[in-house]
């Protein structure tokens, strides 16, 4: 006996999608300005602004100009900036001493930003690549291998220098082992008990960092070498959980997954497993892709950027570091 076909569809998922009100009621995730961290590039001098060739709309700015950008971020309600220095070649060395110079570009910029906009969160990058002549994130031996413990000792000085300048959050992005614990101990000992650590726990050896290395001028120094002996293999996922577990045990307050869009599975697993504040970095190459396609008229920029943001939120990110932060904040404001 053949089965009778059903006469009516009891379940029609499209019913809920038919009207705007029910689509709104059914919406599971929402992006707000509270989710945004804006990465900025600072350089020496006054009244200087240079657009990054491979990142149209992204600028390297001297501190006075950066203060104007910060004012806009405050007005737009962006919670925090992530600061990256463009260091003059003359200050680079094998031992990256400039990384912890209290009069260096980063501490000077932090002091200026905190004095002008105390409520704006300032996140500093803890890593040696802007300060080494070879562009690696740490100090190297004569084979070019990045030395772990020697590097961590310098990262501790760098993090302390940033905290003393008033950074709210120090963000080690170097992937050395044990640096979170060493930095946490040093901060506690120095009385900086409220300095947050945002650990780049799962940072992959990614080709999507290309435009960033142009922006800070480390790509020429790096040449043909790579970062495979400290950044993670894109083939791995369990390893990310082990890295996050270690950084949390060592005293990280927040963890970062980087890059973003090709690694949303990692964001999801980290958030699900640990339930800690989890961030994703939509990196320079992701920005460059979306920007280039939009400039060609191949993609609708606002639509794809907002869709990408919802992807991060769905995956479980509590916030997104994105070069689009100011554009997004304006779009959110104008559609409110
Ligand atoms: N400490 C290195 C660092 N800090 C920020 C980025 C990349 C950020 C981006 O691509 O937007 C990188 C990657 C790298 O050069 O290995
Ligand atoms: Mg680690």
CATH number of the CATH domain containing 107:
3.20.20.70
Answer whether residue 49 shows pLDDT above 90: yes
Reading the block at residue 55, the tokens are: 């990142």
Domain-located, residue 249: yes
Domain-located, residue 37: yes
**CB 137 less than 6 A from any atom of ligand 1:** yes
| Total of domains in the chain | 1
Domain-located, residue 6: no
Distance CA 247, CA 183 (A): 11
Average pLDDT over all residues of the chain: 97
Pocket mutation for ligand 1, best pick of 37, 42, 173, 323 (most atoms within 8 Å of C-beta): 173
Domain-located, residue 42: yes
- Residue 336 binned pLDDT confidence (cut-offs 50, 70, 90): confident
**CB 247 less than 6 A from any atom of ligand 1:** no
pLDDT, position 104: 98
Question: Residue 244: which residues within 8 A CB-CB, separation 6 or more?
Answer: 199, 201, 202, 255, 270, 273, 274
Among protein residues, the one whose CA lies closest to atom 10 of ligand 1: 209
Domain-located, residue 320: yes
The question of ipTM being above 0.90 is answered as: yes
Answer whether residue 47 shows pLDDT above 90: yes
pLDDT, position 96: 98
Distance CA 278, CA 202 (A): 11
pLDDT tens readout for residues 108-158: 999 999 999 999 999 999 999 999 999 999 999 999 999 999 999 999 999
**CB 203 less than 6 A from any atom of ligand 1:** no
Domain-located, residue 86: yes
- Residue 328 binned pLDDT confidence (cut-offs 50, 70, 90): very high
pLDDT, position 1: 54
Sign of CA dihedral 63, 64, 69, 71: positive
Distance CA 100, CA 156 (A): 9
Helix (H, G, I), strand (E, B) or coil at 8: coil
Backbone angles phi, psi at 214, to 5 degrees: -70, -45
pLDDT, position 2: 61
**How far lies 198's CA from each of 15, 43, 253, 270, 320, in Å?**
43, 23, 6, 14, 13
pLDDT, position 5: 77
Tell me the CA–centroid distance for residue 223 and ligand 1, in Å: 15
Helix axes 238-249, 179-189, angle to 10 degrees: 20
- Between 116 and 336, residue with greater pLDDT: 116
pLDDT, position 58: 98
- Per the annotation, binding residues are 243
- What DSSP designation does 3 have? P
Per the CB < 8 A criterion, the answer to whether 216 and 41 are in contact is: yes
**How far lies 116's CA from each of 38, 43, 45, 113, 190, in Å?**
17, 18, 18, 5, 25
- Between 269 and 221, residue with greater pLDDT: 269
Pocket mutation for ligand 1, best pick of 128, 129, 259 (most atoms within 8 Å of C-beta): 129
Answer whether residue 219 shows pLDDT above 90: no
Domain-located, residue 8: no
pLDDT tens readout for residues 71-121: 999 999 999 999 999 999 999 999 999 999 999 999 999 999 999 999 999
Beta strands, E only, 22-64: 36-43, 49-51, 59-62
Pinpoint the alpha helices (H) of the chain.
Answer: 14-17, 20-26, 63-76, 105-116, 148-165, 179-189, 210-216, 219-222, 238-249, 264-274, 284-295, 301-315, 325-334
Question: Which of 213, 39, 197 minimizes the C-alpha distance to 130?
Answer: 213
Question: Active-site residue 114, yes or no?
Answer: no
Tell me the CA–centroid distance for residue 246 and ligand 2, in Å: 7
- Residue 160 binned pLDDT confidence (cut-offs 50, 70, 90): very high
Question: Residue 106: which residues within 8 A CB-CB, separation 6 or more?
Answer: 42, 83, 85, 124, 161, 162, 165
Domain-located, residue 267: yes
Answer whether residue 192 shows pLDDT above 80: yes
Question: Which residue range is the domain that position 147 belongs to?
Answer: 30-334
- Residue 247 binned pLDDT confidence (cut-offs 50, 70, 90): very high
């Amino acid at each position: 006996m053949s089965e009778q076909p059903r006469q009516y569809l009891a379940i029609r998922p499209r019913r809920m999608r038919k009207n705007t009100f029910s689509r709104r009621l059914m919406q599971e995730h929402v992006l707000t300005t509270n989710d945004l961290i804006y990465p900025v590039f600072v350089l020496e001098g006054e009244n200087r602004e240079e657009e990054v060739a491979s990142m149209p709309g992204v600028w390297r700015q001297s501190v006075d100009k950066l203060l104007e950008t910060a004012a806009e971020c405050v007005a737009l309600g962006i919670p925090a900036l992530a600061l990256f220095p463009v260091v003059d070649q003359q200050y680079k060395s094998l031992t990256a001493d400039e990384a912890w110079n209290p009069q260096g570009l980063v501490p000077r910029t932090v002091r200026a930003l905190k004095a002008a906009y105390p409520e704006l969160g300032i996140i500093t990058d803890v890593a040696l690549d802007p300060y080494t002549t070879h562009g690696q994130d740490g100090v190297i031996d004569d084979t070019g291998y990045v030395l772990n413990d020697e590097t961590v000792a310098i990262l501790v000085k760098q993090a302390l220098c940033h905290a003393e300048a008033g950074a709210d959050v120090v963000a080690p992005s170097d992937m050395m082992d044990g640096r979170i614990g060493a930095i946490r101990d040093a901060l506690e000992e120095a009385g900086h008990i409220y300095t947050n650590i945002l650990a780049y726990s799962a940072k992959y050896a990614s080709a999507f960092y290309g435009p960033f290395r142009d922006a800070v001028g480390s790509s020429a120094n790096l040449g043909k070498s790579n970062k495979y002996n400290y950044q993670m293999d894109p083939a791995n996922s369990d390893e990310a959980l082990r890295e996050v577990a270690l950084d949390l045990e060592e005293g990280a307050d927040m963890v970062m997954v980087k890059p973003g869009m090709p690694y949303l599975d990692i964001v999801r697993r980290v958030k699900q497993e640990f339930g800690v504040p989890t961030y994703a970095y939509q990196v320079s190459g992701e920005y460059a892709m979306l920007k280039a396609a939009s400039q060609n008229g191949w993609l609708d920029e606002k639509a794809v950027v907002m869709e990408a943001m919802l992807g991060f939120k769905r995956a479980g990110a509590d916030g997104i570091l994105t070069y689009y932060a100011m554009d997004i904040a304006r779009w959110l404001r104008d559609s409110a």
